Amino acid sequence: MTDSHNEVWTLAEQYDGKLKGVSFELLARGRSLADKLGTKLVSVLIGDGVADSDLDTLIKHGADAVYAVQSPELKYFVCETYGQVLRSLIKEYQPTILLGAATSTGRTLLPYTAVKIPTGLTADCTELDIEEGTGNLLQTRPAIGGNIMATIKTPDHRPQMATVRPKSSRPLPADASRKGEIKHISFDKALIDKRTQIRGYRKEESETLGLDEADIIVAGGHGLKKGENFSLIHSLAKQLGGAVGASRDAVDRGWASYPHQIGLSGKTVSPKVYVGIGISGAIQHLAGIKTSETIVSINSDPDATLHKLADLAIVGDAFQVIPEIQKRLTERGVKNNG
Ligand SMILES: Cc1cc2nc3c(=O)[nH]c(=O)nc-3n(C[C@H](O)[C@H](O)[C@H](O)COP(=O)(O)OP(=O)(O)OC[C@H]3O[C@@H](n4cnc5c(N)ncnc54)[C@H](O)[C@@H]3O)c2cc1C
């Protein structure tokens, strides 16, 4: 396709006037695509009350420009209204690529918009790249139950749209010297979808038990042998002020509930410290932990795959190692309330 469309866009998200972290993760993805295409990277924000100083942080983290449509009517996400706004922006500026997060907002807004335009959308991409020669977006994601990786293209339509899982990439470090344009685009109230009205807003009681935000995650697997032993994982997580994670095997056995599952068919996590105990390190589990800053593996098998990836590999029996760690933490003044 000859391309009169050229900007690469990433969709920023906000709640209560504060930018969400995923906005910065997407910029890291978008930056490398825009650089390969030699084009401009724009962060697009639809919402309300985000200050210019905050919008400028999007530029410091990789955007060349920010397009912001803000209005009290856009404070809360309403798919139809946001979709109309996004469509009108796309019509005017004709981006070649639009990336959103695979959050509840991105997973609703992007399909809605893609159908209306119409164009293609690849959900939950793990890798994004630019095809040499054509400049098409290569959108890679697990397919057939996670057993193969499929690379999908949208050669005939623009923009090429994709969602990316939160925590699957790290934001670029802030560069204070970066300068860019913040363009405030006025909101046309005719775009409000009158069929949908917000009657109230209640913050979700998260089922995730802090896995998404936790700095420390202690995850247990099949090596714990039985459900009762998972209390060791809870106890260590509590002492470390962290959250409890689990392999799919542990979840399938009913030792932990699904919101604790980490991996390809569970959550992608990005804590400062991930501790995997009695987890072998199957590729589907690793897919969920690879952006963790430090990986600790506790496993009795010296050849366990997770040991190979770990920054710290402890070869030992979980039933001896966990109490020993807890004892040493207590000796150093870290209370054990488990
Ligand atoms: C389509 C698909 C999607 C999947 N999605 C996910 C996913 O999202 N998340 C996920 O985790 N898996 C997923 N899986 C499953 C994955 O392939 C593995 O089966 C699973 O991760 C294994 O869990 P585990 O490491 O707990 O168990 P195992 O592989 O059985 O490993 C147990 C480990 O415990 C160690 N061990 C045993 N006794 C002790 C002891 N006393 N002390 C210390 N270590 C001990 C063993 O040496 C072993 O390494 C998926 C699979 C498929 C096909």
Write out the residue limits of the CATH 3.40.50.620 domain(s) in the chain.
7-191
Indicate whether 199 pLDDT > 90.
no
| Sheet with 216-220, side-by-side order of all strands | 243-246, 216-220, 273-277, 294-299, 312-315
Whole-number Å distance, alpha carbon 317 to ligand 1 midpoint, is 16
Say whether pTM exceeds 0.75.
no
Whole-number Å distance, alpha carbon 232 to ligand 1 midpoint, is 18
Look up tokens 């690469």; give the residue: 8
Angstrom distance (rounded) from CA 184 to CA 193: 21
pLDDT for 217 equals 97
Residue nearest to atom 51 of ligand 1 (CA): 284
Strands annotated E in the chain: 8-12, 14-15, 18-19, 41-47, 65-70, 97-101, 121-125, 127-130, 137-143, 148-152, 160-164, 181-184, 216-220, 243-246, 273-277, 294-299, 312-315
pLDDT band at 3 (very low <50, low <70, confident <90, very high): low
pLDDT for 142 equals 84
Whole-number Å distance, alpha carbon 329 to ligand 1 midpoint, is 27
Pocket test for ligand 1, best of 167, 232, 280 (most atoms within 8 A of CB): 280
Indicate whether 287 pLDDT > 80.
yes
Whole-number Å distance, alpha carbon 92 to ligand 1 midpoint, is 49
Write out the residue limits of the CATH 3.40.50.1220 domain(s) in the chain.
211-331
Whole-number Å distance, alpha carbon 311 to ligand 1 midpoint, is 19
pLDDT band at 276 (very low <50, low <70, confident <90, very high): very high
What are 256's two structure tokens? 């932990």
Lowest mean pLDDT among 6-10, 181-185, 204-208, 272-276: 204-208
pLDDT for 326 equals 97
Nearest atom in ligand 1 to the alpha carbon of residue 279 is 25
Which numeric CATH code is attached to 7-191? 3.40.50.620
The pLDDT tens digits of the residues spanning 129-149 come to 999 999 999 999 988 766 788
Whole-number Å distance, alpha carbon 117 to ligand 1 midpoint, is 42
DSSP type of residue 120: -
Indicate whether 208 pLDDT > 70.
no
pLDDT band at 305 (very low <50, low <70, confident <90, very high): very high
Whole-number Å distance, alpha carbon 304 to ligand 1 midpoint, is 10
Angstrom distance (rounded) from CA 286 to CA 263: 6
Mean pLDDT value of segment 149-174: 94
Residue nearest to atom 19 of ligand 1 (CA): 249
Ligand 1: residues within 6 Å at CB?
Answer: 145-146, 221-223, 247-250, 261-266, 278-280, 282, 284-285, 288, 298-301, 304, 317-319
Domain 211-331 indexed as CATH 3.40.50.300: no
Nearest atom in ligand 1 to the alpha carbon of residue 305 is 49
Indicate whether 166 pLDDT > 90.
no
Indicate whether 2 pLDDT > 50.
no
The pLDDT tens digits of the residues spanning 50-70 come to 999 999 999 999 999 999 999
Indicate whether 76 pLDDT > 70.
yes
Indicate whether 4 pLDDT > 70.
no
Q: What SS3 state is found at 76?
A: coil
The pLDDT tens digits of the residues spanning 243-256 come to 999 999 999 999 99
Residue nearest to atom 14 of ligand 1 (CA): 284
Indicate whether 209 pLDDT > 60.
no
Contacts of 264 (CB under 8 A, 6+ apart): 142, 146, 283, 284, 285, 287, 288
Angstrom distance (rounded) from CA 160 to CA 138: 10
